[in-house]
Amino acid sequence: MKKRLKTLAELRKEIDAIDVKLLNLLNERARLAIEVGKIKAREKSDFYSPEREREIFKRLTARNKGPFPNSALLHIYREIMSASLSLEKPLKVAFLGPPATFTHQAALQHFGISCEFVPKKDIAEIFDDVEREKADFGVVPVESTAEGAVDHTLDMFVTSELRICAEIMLEVTSSLLNKSGRLSDIKTVCSHPHAIAQCTRWLKAHLPKVPVMEVSSTAMAARMASEDATVAAIAGEAAANLYDLRIVEKKIEDNPNNFTRFLVIGKKEAKKTGSDKTSMVFAIKDAPGALYRMLEPFAKRGINFTKIESRPMKTKAWEYLFFLDLDGHISDRKIKTAISELEGMCSFIKILGSYPKSK
Which residue, 208, 240, 265, sits at the end of a domain?
Answer: 265
For residue 161, being part of any structural domain is answered with: yes
Side chain identity at residue 245, one-letter code: L
Q: What is the CATH number of the domain that holds 49?
A: 1.20.59.10
Predicted pLDDT of residue 168 = 94
Predicted pLDDT of residue 84 = 86
Q: Residue 311 — pLDDT band, cuts 50, 70, 90?
A: confident
Which residue, 88, 117, 138, sits at the end of a domain?
Answer: 88
Residue 166 confidence (pLDDT) above 70? yes
Q: Residue 72 — pLDDT band, cuts 50, 70, 90?
A: very high
Q: Residue 163 — pLDDT band, cuts 50, 70, 90?
A: very high
Q: Say how far apart CA 54 and CA 114 lie, in whole Å.
A: 18
Same domain (yes/no): 239, 298: no
Neighbours of 258 (CB within 10 A): 19
Same domain (yes/no): 77, 40: yes
Same domain (yes/no): 75, 64: yes
Q: Mean of the pLDDT values across residues 252-270?
A: 89
Q: Say how far apart CA 233 and CA 224 lie, in whole Å.
A: 8
Q: Which are the contacts of 218, defined by CB distance < 8 A and separation ≥ 6?
A: 100, 101, 102, 174, 191, 192, 195, 233, 234, 235, 236, 239
Which residue, 88, 119, 149, sits at the end of a domain?
Answer: 88
Residue 155 confidence (pLDDT) above 80? yes
Predicted pLDDT of residue 89 = 78
Same domain (yes/no): 41, 107: no
Compute, in degrees rounded to 10, the torsion defined by CA atoms 30, 32, 33, 37: 140
Same domain (yes/no): 320, 338: yes
Residue 195 confidence (pLDDT) above 70? yes
Please report, rounded to a whole number, the percentage of residues in the chain having pLDDT higher than 70: 97
For residue 344, being part of any structural domain is answered with: yes
For residue 2, being part of any structural domain is answered with: no
Q: What is the CATH number of the domain that holds 192?
A: 3.40.190.10
Residue 82's domain comprises 11-88
For residue 5, being part of any structural domain is answered with: no
**pTM exceeding 0.85:** no
Question: How many domains does the chain contain in total?
Answer: 4
Contact of 138 with 125, CB cutoff 8 Å:
no
